[in-house]
Each structure stands twice: as structure tokens, then as C-alpha cells.
Amino acid sequence: MLSGLNPTSREETLYLREFLVSQDMLNVLQEKLNWSEHYAQRWRDPAFWLLADARQEDVLAYFQRLVTAHFDEQTGLLTVQVQAFNPDFAEQTLQIMLKESERFVNELSHRMARDQMQFAQSELAKARKVYEERRQDMLAFQSNSNLLDAEAAAKARAEMISELEGNLTKERTTLKGLLATLDTNTPQVRQQRNRIRALEQQLAVESQRLVSEKNGDKLNVVASQYRNLMIDAAIAEEAYKFAVGSVESARIEASKKLRSLVTVVSPNRPDRAIYPERIYNLITLLFILVILYGIVKFIIATIEDHRD
């Protein structure tokens, strides 16, 4: 079974190796094959004896003894070997393990992809909520102040005041010129003074509307509040754009992380039993018996020498 050679695939392959010899896999085999019944009470093979009513821990240890999963660090291949008392049962066991392994790999990779997408989508939802709140605050502020753009209104009012001050300076200069040639009570002088007085009153009104104390409701305070709302809205908008991009990136990354189980070599069904190795076992047993016989003869000879 091949799952790739990159570090992420290696970790997932090691997860699969642990799953193959876990209690979960044993439970599946027990449910579908009644696995332990095949091995229980085999009196002809006392080395692999399993009680019919063995405890769950003993059955798991027995299962891990007969089912092995070896991971090759160089090739990234995971090799699974199953021992049974007949080839049909071993093949059935391995086929079920392959199907469960495929389900495990698919579920693991899809769950990781789902978790990544859910996190990105939750961040997007939060960013959109903040963006909507900031936009509603902006609309409410514009409605309450009756100004579409407080900064532009304040700038226009400042330009108006500057223009009034310029006109007032011109009119005062004109008045000085009239006073130099005319009497103070002449109609031209009085008219010029009225014009200056009107400009001064208008300038005072405009200045009062533009400038206020810190907590007032004049244009300078309104413009400052509007500027803060604009900054907050801009930050929220940028965060929302970034969250949208993150969702797309997460979708692409999630699709890259999807894994599948590939069977490189199908389960091989042996034509003859590999174990027990009768000739090897007989020779080994004969060798051990010869050694024990020599030890016993040596002990007996030593005892007889001491008696003499």
C-alpha cells in the first residue's frame, strides 16, 4: 500500500499502520468474520493456542502476533502480512483489512480537509459580520449627522471661511479708502460698513459651525468621528477581502491534501503452508535435545566422579 513519500503522507501511512493492528480493526474482523473463532482451541498447534473465552486484551495481543504491518522508510510502502490456519481465511481477513484501510484513509484526509475549510469559512463569517457592523455604523452616523461625507463638508466649510476672510479683508481695505476721501456719515461709507458687518457676522456663524470643543457636535468633531469610522470600515473591509482569499486558498490546499489508498501488490494466496517450518523446527528441536542430553550426561558424570 502506497500513500506517498512526502512527510505528510508518511505520517498518514504510520497512522494507517497503527490502525491495521488496533482494537478497532479487530472489532471489524470479529463482526464480519468472527475472527477469534478461527484460532480458538487449536490443540494441534499449542504454540498458537487461544482460549475460546479469552479476554479482550489477550485476543488483541494474539491478533497483533499474527497480523503484522511493516513500513519501508525508503519506498514509503506499507506491507501487511496475515497468518491463518487456512489460506481462504487469511485472504478474507486481508481483503476486509484493505477495505477498512481505504475507508480510514479517505475519512482521515477528508476530515482534515473539512476541518481546514470549516476554519476558513468561520473566519470569513466573522470578518463579514464585522464588516457589516462597521458599514451599518457608517450609515447610521451619516443619517444622524445628515452628512454624506463629513470630511468633505468640513473641508468645504473651511474653504468658505477662508473666502469670507479674504472678502472681509478686501472690504475693510475699501472702507479705509473711502474714509480717506469721504466723511464717516456719507451713504457710501455707511453702506460699506454694513457690508463689512454682514461679512463679519457670516464669518462668525461659519466659524462657530466649523470649530467646537472636544465633545461638541460641530463639523470638526463630526469629521473626526467620521474619519475614525472610515478607518474602522476600511480595516474591516480589508480583513473581509483577506478572509475571502483565505477560503479560496484553503479550498485549493484541501484538495491537495486528499489521499487515496493504492494497492501496489494484491494479496498473495500461498499454495502451501509456510508455517510451521517442520524441517527447521525438527532440526532445531534435535539440536536442543542433543544439548540437553549432553548437559544431563555431564551432570551425571560429575556426580559419579564425586561419589568415587
Tell me the three state secondary structure of residue 79: strand
**Residues 56, 120 contacting (CB under 8 angstroms):** no
pTM above 0.85, yes or no: no
Domain boundaries, the chain: 7-119+258-307, 137-256
Lowest-confidence range among 44-48, 243-247, 252-256?
252-256
In angstroms, rounded to a whole number, what is the distance separating the alpha carbons of residues 1 and 118?
Answer: 30
The pLDDT score that the predictor gives to residue 245 is 78
Q: How do residues 14-42 score in pLDDT, each as one tens digit?
A: 888 999 999 999 999 999 998 888 888 77
Render pLDDT for 117-160 as a digit per residue (tens, 0 to 9).
777 778 888 888 887 887 777 777 666 666 556 566 666 666 67
Q: What is the pLDDT of residues 38-97, one digit of tens each?
A: 888 777 777 777 888 889 899 999 999 999 999 888 888 888 999 888 888 888 999 999
The confidence score (pLDDT) of residue 5 equals 42
Burial class of residue 97, CB neighbours in 10 A (0-12, 13-18, 19+): buried
Strand-strand pairing, 67-71 and 78-82 = antiparallel
Q: Which residues contact 219 (CB under 8 A, 6 or more apart)?
A: 150, 153, 154, 157, 209, 210, 211, 212
Specify the range with the lowest mean pLDDT, choosing from 51-60, 84-93, 221-230, 267-276.
221-230
